[in-house]
Structure 1
Amino acid sequence: MTSISSRRLAKELMEIKNEGCPVGINLVQADDFSTWLFTIEVMGESLYQNEKFTLQFRFDQQYPISSPAVQFVVTEGRQAPVHPHVYSNGHICASILGNEWSPVLSVIAVCVTLQSMLASCKEKHRPVDNDRYVKHAPENPKKTRFHYDDDTV
């Protein structure tokens, strides 16, 4: 990690430990500056009430200039939320993780944005091209060039 990246992540981690996370967001693991895990759940009434999901953040040496690779963790016991912008492999089609990333954004800001994305969802379904995408998707969601054309979900 570059010194800028590790300093920024150390600062964010200290803020999380000192101030805590917003309601419904919990830090699960941040043992190093390469991968962090959070749980996220939508508070209040929503299609995802009483559901908890795990988010994985992977940081490269260019963070915060470049966005982290963020995806929902999918294992035998966990699945990604069924959402029009979330593929069954956990990849997330959200402009904040792509062309609208800004170095002023933080890990917590991304969590809150994704929590809000889930909270505002009106209908649970996978993206139209889910099966094709998952079959050919790279391991790292940052290597996908998503087309952002639906900000209504």
Structure 2
Amino acid sequence: MASISSRRLAKELREIQAEGCPVGISLVEANDFSKWVFTIQVMGDSLYQDEVHTLQFRFDPQYPISSPAVQFVVTDGKQAPIHPHVYSNGHICASILGNEWSPVLSVIAVCVTLQSMLASCKKKERPADNDRYVKHAPENPKKTLFHYDDDTV
């Protein structure tokens, strides 16, 4: 018997394959039901114009009840976008990945939200506590208890 998590992810993957991804979002890898990789690009005029960033989703057996672990991939000279809610190690401080996660959200909904977060950014800068956080950050961003005090950036 398949788990709720694998059934849900299979359904989301079928929808992506049938309908495609929204403009600026591409599925790169979905080999199993533990890790998926996407690229996202902000379309139109923004501070991130012409930049393509890679997002990694890791799923635990409680998905979609629990949120996926989502982070920007930082490897081979690729850096995370410079944004007030994105740490240089790729961890993202976004309430929908934490206390505002809902099982009705999908992987694509998260991608679109993060694409929108980048599109609406007014100033490229790292979070104020970037160096301290990155030095002590857990490998899994879900193990961080972020404080969501600014959802307007």
Q: TM tier, shorter chain?
A: over 0.9
Q: Which position in structure 2 is the counterpart of 1:36?
A: 36
Aligned counterparts of 2:108 and 2:69: Cα–Cα separation in 1: 14
Aligned counterparts of 1:6 and 1:72: Cα–Cα separation in 2: 23
Task: Quote the RMSD (CA, aligned, Å).
Answer: 1.0
Q: Which position in structure 1 is the counterpart of 2:122?
A: 122
Q: Which position in structure 2 is the counterpart of 1:26?
A: 26
Deviation, structure 1 residue 77 = 2.3
1:140 aligns with 2:140: yes
**How far does the alpha carbon of each residue in 1:34-56 deviate from its partner, in whole angstroms, 9 at most, with x for none?**
00000000000000000000000
Q: What SS does the corresponding residue of 1:116 show, helix, strand or coil? A: helix
Q: Which position in structure 2 is the counterpart of 1:52?
A: 52
Identity %: 86
Aligned counterparts of 1:2 and 1:149: Cα–Cα separation in 2: 39
Aligned counterparts of 1:101 and 1:59: Cα–Cα separation in 2: 14
Deviation, structure 1 residue 152 = 1.2
Q: What SS does the corresponding residue of 1:12 show, helix, strand or coil? A: helix
Alignment length (residue pairs): 153
Q: What SS does the corresponding residue of 1:118 show, helix, strand or coil? A: helix
Aligned counterparts of 1:22 and 1:65: Cα–Cα separation in 2: 24
Aligned pairs for 1:58-137 within 5 A: 58-137=58-137
Aligned counterparts of 1:23 and 1:54: Cα–Cα separation in 2: 15
* Paired residues of 1:2 and 1:61 also in contact (CA < 8 A): no
* Paired residues of 1:2 and 1:62 also in contact (CA < 8 A): no
Q: TM-score, normalised by structure 1?
A: 0.99
